[in-house]
């Protein structure tokens, strides 16, 4: 099932991230999809802020993976935009199902490496300020999470 949320501002997107963060659990995987400038990194910033992470959150486009350990739970932020194919030697799957949270921008690039249970968020640009965010839960715990925040 898909759920849609309309964000009319950066603040709305960050509020959605904060609400999802309030339902966090170890091993959580959130996949972020959408065109450049659609709000994926803004979402990660809101989530990280709610975790208590004080470092500046930027998209890890050239480093692929950034780890933030200063919050109440480790946050792994991946940006796989520059990956041409999911190369197992990169070790993406090593980060799944651990005591951290993984947020993956451009997750469709490594779709064959993603865990079966995850939450996908697709950011659709409507206009300069408005986004429709489509939430697609895969697995019961992600379905419960979405139902508790929407």
Residue 5: band (very low, low, confident or very high) from pLDDT cuts 50, 70, 90? very high
What average pLDDT does range 101-113 have in this prediction? 89
Give the separation between CA 85 and CA 71, rounded to whole angstroms.
31
Cα 78 from Cα 63, distance rounded (Å):
9
**124 backbone φψ class: left, alpha, beta (φ>0; ψ -120 to 50):** beta
pTM: 0.91
- pLDDT (mean) for 50-54: 94
Which domains are delineated in the chain?
10-123 (3.40.50.300)
Find which of 15-19, 35-39, 53-57, 65-69 is predicted with most confidence, using mean pLDDT: 15-19
Span 73-101, pLDDT tens digits: 999 998 887 666 545 556 667 777 678 99
135 and 119 Cβ atoms separated by less than 8 Å:
yes
Q: Which pLDDT score, from 0 to 100, does residue 6 have? A: 97
Q: Rg of the chain's alpha carbons, rounded to an integer?
A: 14
Q: pLDDT tens for residues 29-45?
A: 999 999 988 999 999 99
Give the pLDDT mean for 1-29. 95
pLDDT in tens, 125-145: 999 999 999 999 999 999 999
């Amino acid at each position: 099932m898909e759920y849609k949320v309309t964000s009319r501002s950066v603040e709305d997107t960050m509020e959605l991230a904060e609400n999802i963060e309030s339902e966090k659990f170890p091993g959580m995987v959130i996949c972020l999809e959408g065109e450049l400038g659609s709000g994926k990194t803004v979402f990660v910033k809101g989530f990280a802020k709610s975790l208590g992470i004080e470092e500046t959150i930027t998209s890890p486009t050239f480093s692929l993976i950034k780890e933030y350990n200063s919050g109440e739970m480790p946050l792994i932020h991946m940006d796989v935009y520059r990956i041409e194919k999911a190369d197992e030697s990169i070790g993406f799957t090593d980060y799944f199902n651990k005591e951290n949270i993984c947020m993956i921008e451009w997750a469709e690039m490594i779709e064959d490496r993603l865990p079966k249970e995850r939450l996908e968020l697709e950011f659709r640009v409507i206009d300069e300020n408005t986004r429709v965010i489509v939430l697609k839960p895969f697995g019961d715990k992600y379905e419960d999470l979405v139902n508790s925040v929407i």
